[in-house]
Structures are given as C-alpha cells and as structure tokens.
Amino acid sequence: MNKIVNNIVFLFLIITLNMLGSRSDSQLRSLENPDKQTMRGESSKRSDKLLEIPRKKLNMRLYTEQEQKIQDYINSKAVTISIIALVGVYAILIFVIVALEELMDETEFNNVSVILSWIELGILIVFILEIAVGIYAWGLMKYYKDKWLILDTLIILLSLFFVIFELADQKTSNVVKVIQAVFRFLRIFLLIRKAQTFRRLTTISTISTPAEKIVRFLLELKEVIELESMKLDIDYCIDKIGSNQLYQMGKLDEDNAEAMGWLNQSQQGRTDVRKIVNNDQQQQQKKVLANFQKLNIPKRVLEILDKQHDDLYIDPFECDKLSAGEGLVYLMLFLFEYYNLYEVFLIKPKIVRSYFEEVTKGYIDNPYHNRVHAQDVAQTCNFLLNRCKFIEIGQLDEQDIACVLIAGAIHDYGHPGLTNAFLINSKNDLALTYNDQSVLEMFHPSQCFKIAWKNQKANIFENLPFQKYRRIRESIISMVLSTDMAHHASELAITNSRVTSPDFEPYGKDKQRLMDLVVHSSDVSNPTKNFQIYKEWTERVLTEFWSQGDKERELGLPISYLCNRYTTNMAEAQLGFIDYVVKPTFSCVQGFLPAFEPYFDNLDKNKTQWQELIGYYKQQLASIQPQ
C-alpha cells in the first residue's frame, strides 16, 4: 500500500512541476507590457453598438473602514509572501512525511509523525484563519466568487479532519491513508496559485502609469465575476481607456460642448550634458551664410532665418511670401547646415533641397493644413530644441535633432483638409486603407518615405546604414503619430506621470516620449505666439473646419465639433482650446523645459483678447443664421 501512496505522490509531483514549467507566456506578456497588449489591443474592436447600451447601476456592497483596512492588509505584499512561504513549508512537510514513512519502521515513524502532525495542524489552523478573515472582510458571496477558493477550503477542512483523526490515535485503514496523502499533496496546488498571485503582484508594482494599473485591475476583476452585465461594463471601461477615448464627450452640456470638442479631434537636465551646437556662433553663421549663398537663397529670407530660426515669434506668412512658397525648403536647408546634418546623412545639400521641394509640392493649398503650417511647426520644433534647450536637457545627438525637424516638416503632408472623423464616417479610401486608426497620421509619413525611395535624387535616407535608418524611421513615425488628437489626453497624462516620476530620464528611456511631445506641442502652439499671427491661424483652421461641416451636412453625416459655421463662436472655441489642450500641454513641456516659462504667459494674454471678442462673434453668428 505504501508503494501505491508513493506512486500517487510522485504522480502529483510530476503534474505540479509540469504546471509550473508551462506557465502561459501570453499571460506573462500581457502583464509585462500592458501598454501595448491591453491599451491598444482587442478592446478597441468592440462594436459601436455597445456604446449605446445604457450603463446599468451595480448593486455593490459598501465596506466599512475596518473591512477595507483588513482587505488592504490581506492583499499586502508582506501577507502574500508570508502565506506563500507557509504553503512552501507545508509542501516540504508533506515530502518529509512521505520520505520518513518509507525510510523508518512503523514504530519510529509513529513517534515522529505525532510531532509532524502537530506542526501540520498549526499550519492548517493558520490557513483556516486566513479564510475566516477573508470571509469577514469581503463577505461570503464575494469571497467565493473565485471558485478555486471553494476547493481550497474543502482541501484544508478535509486535511484538518485527517490530522485531528490521526492525533486522536485512531487506527486508520490503508484506504484512509491513501485519501489522506492525496489531500495533503493537493495543497501543492495552493502553492502554484499563490505563487502566480505573487508574480502578478510584483509585476503590477513595476507599472508606472495609472492608466496601466487601472486596465490591469479591470482585467483581474473581470476574471472573478460572473454577471454578464458587469463584464460588459468592464469591457466598456477597458475599451475607453484602451482606445484613448477616456476624455471624449458623449452628451456635452451647452457651455462646454465647443470647448471640449478640441479634445475629440480624431525640470530638469544634467549639468554635464554634451552640446551639439557649435559655440562659436559667428564662425557658424558665416559658414551657414556662405552655403546658402551657394544655393541662391533669397537674401531677405536668409537674413530672417539667420536671426529668427529659433524664435517663437517669427512670422511664417512673411517667410512664405518672401520665399515664393519655398519657405519650408529654405528652413530645412538652413537647419541641416546649422546642425551639421549633411554629414550625419552622408548627403549633399541638393538632395535635401530636392526632397523638401517634393514634400512642399505634396502639401495641398488648404486654408490651414498647408506648407506654411508645416514650416511653422518645424520652426517651432527648432525653438524648443535650441532656445528652450531640449538639445542639452535631452542630450540629443545630431540624429535625434534631424528626426524632430523632419517629423515637424512632414507631419501633415498631403492633408486633405478633412479630419480623421470625416474620413472614417464617409468611408474614405484612406480610412479603409489604415483601418480607421490614426488615418492621416499613418498616411503622412508613409507618403514621405515613399518620396525618398521612389526618387533617388531626393532620397535623404539612401546612404544611412540599415540599423540607423530603422531607428530614424521609427522615431519619425512615432512623432507624427503623436499629433493625432484622439490620443492627446491619455498620452499627455502618461507623459506628465513620467516627467514627475523620480526615475524620469529625459536623456534616456523618456527621450523618445519627450521628442513626441515636442512635435505635438509645436503642432498646437499657435496660442503661445503673437495674437495677430495666432488669430490668422485660427481664422484659417475654422474656415477649414466649416468647409468640412458643410460637406457633412450635405452628406447627412454628423457634424463634427467646431465644424458648424452657424453655431461655432470663434472666440469661445479658442478659450476652450487654450484651457483644455494648450495649457495642459505646455505645462507638461515647461516641466522638463524650464526655459519655456517666459512664453507661457502668452496663453493668458491671448485668452484675454479672445474674451473681449466673444460679443463680436456672437453678433456675427446672429447675422448669418439660416432662415
């Protein structure tokens, strides 16, 4: 009979080791990288019809303060580790009992087994207390939502019965011994389950962003509930977080509808940083001027770029006029020379000129999303790089600088003057091509890389080593994707959490995220500039929006935020834009670029001017209302 018992024990041992060794990789991956696996995963594929389901109110038990404290204590890392250790001791105890029973004669074993049984009884009592405290803290029904806990309790109670039975000096049959050994060994499965819980606990503790913690918590909560309506609610929450729609409005109140519509458009550096820019400014300027003269750049344009290439207040409209529409080309030629980027790309200036001439041609003559906007964004990127010292704080090398400038220049290439929402709702070919995901932001870099590889005379990437090209391509695409307003709120929240984190590394693991924000903030930077230039851009962008609204009205599509020319007050819209988008964005920028602080006041100054114009635009709206 002992052989039978031993065979059963070793059979369970093999099963246990196999289960430990074959831990699901997919589960571990979902824990290790929830940002990619969860937040951008299958949750975004839920049907839009689900969004129309009324959210059911959940009848949930309200816990007392004492019960909540006990819950926190039970879930604490210290208690979890202690229980795991106790289960481990119990597992060792089982193997010791089995081994001694095989090695000792019956009399010797009976003497030793009494001591071992008392130890086992003590461990089982601790497990009983754990269950009792858990039932008290969560309630009976809530505690046993996890059906495995029912099996745990049954195993513990039966094991306790057999131990007490044995200590009572009752003679046990061979069948009882077999059952007793089996129930003892089933405790090993508790070790597996507790260990997995501990692995989840330690993994979650390394997640740095609140959004990731919330998604992880929701997924774990879903595993232990049965009510389908609650699962739908959890899916809804995960979908909103995972698709970056947490801040999108459903039904907005009248006061905030247009302001919040902007959100729905689909501290420190180191003192030992390496400077990229040549400190001898006079020599650098002479060299730049000489090279531009060789390229026959208009003298007036060259003078403006020489003095204001990193100035927030440069007038992009004047530059475009003086350069006969080639302002973007001249700006990029100037900056490539200024930062010595020709040597980085191993190309001549004529290649750069050809490339950005093709890029400029690809910009459609929209009121807002046009070549002047591209020039303005690229130049604002340079303002943040140089004047605000991101080059030093982020320890950017020439390759990083090139990526930021190129991303700023191409970020709206081929923009049709329509939003992602319109393209998706109208089933446009671009939306179908890019599966409704960041449609234009996918399109812009795709076309600009094609320009290079389809025209050798304009291929600025041709001479780059493969790995360097891959890194540059990935970095540029990341920055252009960051300009999608659908991701604004969630990505800004994550960046804010990193900027204020103790392990924030602007020159290391956080560098790409900050480069993304530099391009994105430059794209929405108009309210930080002189009011006249800002107002010009505002009139242009709303003209473009209203043209889209007219198309939506004609096609019977929902009219997008700020796209209804009969209801959008230009001044009120800009107040919302500043408060809900621009201020939070540049507060974050100022967190790692303190040199931006003097320019932050422009937001309040411009806001005051818009407030004074609210009445004027109300009268203007009243005069154009349809009969």
What pLDDT shows up at residue 117? 81
| 458: DSSP letter | G
What pLDDT shows up at residue 240? 62
What pLDDT shows up at residue 273? 35
What pLDDT shows up at residue 49? 37
62-66, 100-104, 332-336: lowest mean pLDDT where?
A: 62-66
Kindly give, in sequence order, each residue whose CB lies less than 8 Å from that of residue 265, ignoring residues fewer than 6 positions away: 419, 421, 485, 486, 560, 561, 562
For 150-177, give one letter per residue: b (16+ CB within 10 A) or e. Answer: eebbebbebbbebbeebeeeeeeeeeeb
Q: What is the mean pLDDT of residues 392-410?
A: 97
Q: Rounded to an integer, what distance in angstroms lies between the CA atom of residue 383 and that of residue 367?
A: 24
Is residue 325 left, alpha or beta, with left meaning phi > 0 and alpha meaning psi from -120 to 50?
left
What pLDDT shows up at residue 323? 94
52-56, 88-92, 329-333, 452-456: lowest mean pLDDT where?
A: 52-56
Q: What is the mean pLDDT of residues 251-257?
A: 45
Active site residues: 369
Q: What is the mean pLDDT of residues 599-604?
A: 96
Verdict on whether the full-model pTM lies above 0.75: no
Higher pLDDT among residues 47 and 213, named by residue: 213
First to last CA, the chain: 98
List the structure tokens of 177. Answer: 């011994």
288: confidence class by pLDDT, cuts 50, 70, 90: low
On the 0-12 / 13-18 / 19+ scale of CB atoms within 10 A, 462 is middle
Helix (H, G, I), strand (E, B) or coil at 252: coil
What pLDDT shows up at residue 173? 58
pLDDT digits (tens, 9 = 90+) for 461-483: 999 999 999 999 999 999 999 99
pLDDT digits (tens, 9 = 90+) for 23-70: 333 333 333 333 333 333 333 333 333 333 333 333 344 567 777 778
Q: What is the mean pLDDT of residues 615-619?
A: 96
Q: What is the mean pLDDT of residues 144-152?
A: 74
Q: What is the mean pLDDT of residues 231-246?
A: 64
Q: Rounded to an integer, what distance in angstroms lies between the CA atom of residue 588 and that of residue 582?
A: 10
What pLDDT shows up at residue 213? 63
What pLDDT shows up at residue 215? 64
252: confidence class by pLDDT, cuts 50, 70, 90: very low
pLDDT digits (tens, 9 = 90+) for 413-423: 999 999 999 99
pLDDT digits (tens, 9 = 90+) for 364-394: 999 999 999 999 999 999 999 999 999 999 9
**DSSP class per residue in 513-571:** HHHHHHHHHHHT-GGGS-HHHHHHHHHHHHHHHHHHHHHHHHHTPPPPTT--TTT--HH
Q: What is the mean pLDDT of residues 427-437?
A: 96
Specify the long-range contacts of residues 476-479, CB closer than 8 Å, at least 24 apart.
Answer: 476/403, 476/406, 476/407, 476/410, 476/445, 477/445, 478/512, 478/515, 478/516, 479/403, 479/404, 479/407, 479/408, 479/411, 479/515, 479/516, 479/518, 479/519, 479/520
Higher pLDDT among residues 102 and 191, named by residue: 102
82: confidence class by pLDDT, cuts 50, 70, 90: confident
* Percent of the residues in the chain that have a pLDDT greater than 70, as a whole number: 70
What pLDDT shows up at residue 272? 35
